């Protein structure tokens, strides 16, 4: 039986691209119906061919991607075991493999229960192909999905090992912080609920009204004379969540810091914001509508920008997207680059946050626009991050 199935799979694969679409449709049907033996044989054949010289791997890479996706989104330990024995990718090179592992970690965390994931991925399973990088990403994808890590000793111990090895994701806590409260799935949420927001319309979706500037506020604001103090390190930290817009796409980012000798009252911030020399709103342009925002809303905006793909390229996915969002928050509230996230989280809750409409000609206003501002604790420092991208 195995030989007949393998022979048919090989015959289809030998036909190259014309058969890829046929197999692509069959993959989802087989996996969803529980035919994991067929999925295992296809995976083994794809892995065998990946090591052969002269093979055209584009069709095979497409099929492996379809197989991985079907298994990652089909709940249960049996599908996970098959997935864990597949190669992470057929393309050579570290960047391609890393991207695949991050994507799969996100899919697995959303498609499987922690009770099924932990014994298969973190237990003593012989023959698994899961790398430590995949496990690290999956651990933090599970945190984003609301998993209770302390309830799973294997998860907790793996997280501790990441700290000991100084893994890049080690600074992330193994629980959601106060600013991440909006990431928790609400009770009775619809099946397609997501914490993500469309980046281009975050201000329009704000449930807080626009801040109006009265003549009295403007008179008080005129007495404040903020000066720009931006340096490259601070701008880089603030831009972490949208760096891939620059590196992989056509993005433009402006990250700016300002200091005022006189503290700015939060109620007068809109009047002071009007007078800031902002790159995204050149002198003479009408200033945008400004909305007060909660810390969790700003985090969702930054995390959405980090996780989602820009116009070209791919997003950072959940684990590294969360890390980038916290680095941006750290830059916006002025913490040192090596400050623990717990310190950043404290300042994030103490700061006053605002979201601006991407209304000037500086923004492309296609689907990738972002404008957030922070009035740091004490009121003397302001940070503004704006970003835009286009296809």
Convert the pLDDT of each residue in 145-163 to its tens digit.
Answer: 888 999 999 999 999 999 9
CA–CA gap between residue 43 and residue 312 (Å, rounded): 29
CA–CA gap between residue 379 and residue 197 (Å, rounded): 29
Q: Which of 31-40, 54-63, 365-374 has the lowest average pLDDT? A: 54-63
Decide: 137 and 102 in contact? Cβ < 8 Å: yes
Of 63, 92, 121, which marks where a domain is finished? 92
Residue at 179 is within a domain? no
Query: Does one domain contain both 235 and 378?
Result: yes
Domain count, the chain: 2
Q: What is the average pLDDT across 99-108?
A: 90
DSSP assignments along 16-81, one per residue: -HHHHHHHHHHHHHHHHTT-HHHHHHHHHHHHHHHTSTT--HHHHHHHHHHHHHHHHTS-SHHHHH
Residue at 140 is within a domain? no
Query: Does one domain contain both 88 and 204?
Result: no
Query: Does one domain contain both 81 and 224?
Result: no
Tens of pLDDT, residue by residue over 219-278, are 887 778 899 999 999 999 999 999 999 999 999 999 999 999 999 999 999 999 988 999
Query: Does one domain contain both 260 and 381?
Result: yes
Domain boundaries, position 73: 1-92
Q: What are 229's two structure tokens?
A: 């103090």
Query: Does one domain contain both 225 and 364?
Result: yes
Of 77, 92, 107, which marks where a domain is finished? 92
Distance set, CA 208 to CA 41, 147, 272, 365 (Å): 55, 30, 19, 22
Residue at 185 is within a domain? no
90 — pLDDT class (breaks 50, 70, 90):
low
Query: Does one domain contain both 76 and 208?
Result: no
H/E stretch holding 259:
strand 252-259
128 — pLDDT class (breaks 50, 70, 90):
low
Residue at 159 is within a domain? no
Residue at 149 is within a domain? no
Residue at 350 is within a domain? yes
Q: Is pLDDT at 192 greater than 50 in this prediction?
A: yes
Q: Which of 148-152, 196-200, 330-334, 364-368 has the lowest average pLDDT? A: 196-200
Of 92, 120, 147, which marks where a domain is finished? 92
**What CATH number is given to the structural domain containing 372?**
3.40.1000
Tens of pLDDT, residue by residue over 45-64, are 887 776 665 455 677 778 88
Q: What is the average pLDDT across 310-322?
A: 92
Query: Does one domain contain both 237 and 354?
Result: yes
Q: Is pLDDT at 204 greater than 70 in this prediction?
A: no
Residue at 170 is within a domain? no
Strands 252-259, 381-389: pairing is antiparallel
Q: Note the pLDDT of residue 15.
A: 72
CA–CA gap between residue 139 and residue 320 (Å, rounded): 11
Query: Does one domain contain both 230 and 376?
Result: yes
Residue at 86 is within a domain? yes
- For tokens 């201000």, the residue is 203
Helix axes 295-307, 341-350, angle to 10 degrees: 130
Give whichever of 129-133, 197-201, 375-379 has the largest mean pLDDT: 375-379
Q: Note the pLDDT of residue 211.
A: 83
Q: Is pLDDT at 40 greater than 80 in this prediction?
A: yes
Q: Is pLDDT at 346 greater than 90 in this prediction?
A: yes
Q: Note the pLDDT of residue 200.
A: 47
Q: Note the pLDDT of residue 5.
A: 78
Q: Is pLDDT at 294 greater than 80 in this prediction?
A: yes
CA–CA gap between residue 232 and residue 238 (Å, rounded): 10
Distance set, CA 306 to CA 82, 84, 138, 147, 324 (Å): 30, 27, 17, 21, 7
Query: Does one domain contain both 87 and 216?
Result: no
Q: Note the pLDDT of residue 370.
A: 93
* Radius of gyration for the alpha carbons in the chain, expressed in angstroms and rounded: 24
């Amino acid at each position: 039986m195995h030989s007949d199935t393998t022979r048919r799979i090989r015959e289809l694969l030998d036909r190259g691209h014309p058969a890829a679409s046929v197999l692509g449709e069959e993959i989802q049907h087989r996996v969803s119906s529980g035919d994991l033996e067929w999925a295992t044989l296809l995976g083994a054949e794809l892995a065998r061919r990946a090591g052969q010289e002269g093979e055209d791997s584009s069709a095979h890479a497409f099929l492996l991607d379809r197989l991985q996706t079907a298994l990652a989104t089909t709940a249960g330990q049996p599908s996970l075991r098959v997935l864990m024995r597949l190669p992470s990718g057929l393309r050579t090179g570290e960047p391609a493999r890393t991207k695949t592992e991050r994507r799969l970690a996100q899919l697995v965390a959303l498609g499987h229960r922690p009770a099924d994931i932990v014994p298969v991925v973190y237990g003593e399973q012989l023959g698994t192909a899961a790398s430590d990088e995949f496990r690290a990403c999956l651990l933090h994808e599970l945190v984003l999905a609301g998993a209770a890590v302390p309830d799973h000793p294997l998860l907790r111990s793996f997280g501790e090992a990441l700290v000991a090895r100084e893994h890049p994701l080690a600074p992330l806590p193994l629980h959601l912080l106060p600013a991440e409260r909006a990431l928790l799935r609400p009770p009775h949420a619809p099946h397609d609920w997501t914490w993500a927001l469309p980046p281009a319309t975050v201000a329009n979706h704000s449930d807080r009204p626009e801040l109006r500037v009265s003549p009295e506020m403007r008179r008080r604001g005129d007495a404040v004379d903020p000066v720009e103090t931006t340096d490259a390190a601070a701008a880089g930290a603030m831009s972490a969540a949208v760096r891939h817009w620059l590196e992989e796409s056509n993005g433009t980012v402006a990250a700016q810091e300002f200091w005022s000798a006189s503290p700015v009252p939060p109620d007068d911030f809109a009047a002071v914001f009007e007078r800031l020399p902002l790159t995204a709103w050149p002198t003479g342009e009408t200033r945008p509508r400004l909305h007060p925002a909660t810390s969790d809303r700003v985090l969702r905006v930054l995390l959405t920008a980090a996780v989602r793909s820009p116009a070209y390229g791919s997003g950072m996915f959940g684990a590294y997207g969360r890390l980038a969002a916290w680095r941006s928050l750290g830059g916006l509230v002025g913490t040192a680059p090596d400050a623990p996230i717990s310190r950043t989280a404290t300042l994030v809750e103490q700061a006053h946050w605002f979201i601006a409409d991407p209304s000037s000609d500086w923004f492309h206003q296609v689907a990738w626009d972002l404008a957030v501002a922070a009035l740091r604790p004490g009121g003397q420092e302001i940070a503004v991050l704006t970003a835009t991208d286009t296809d």
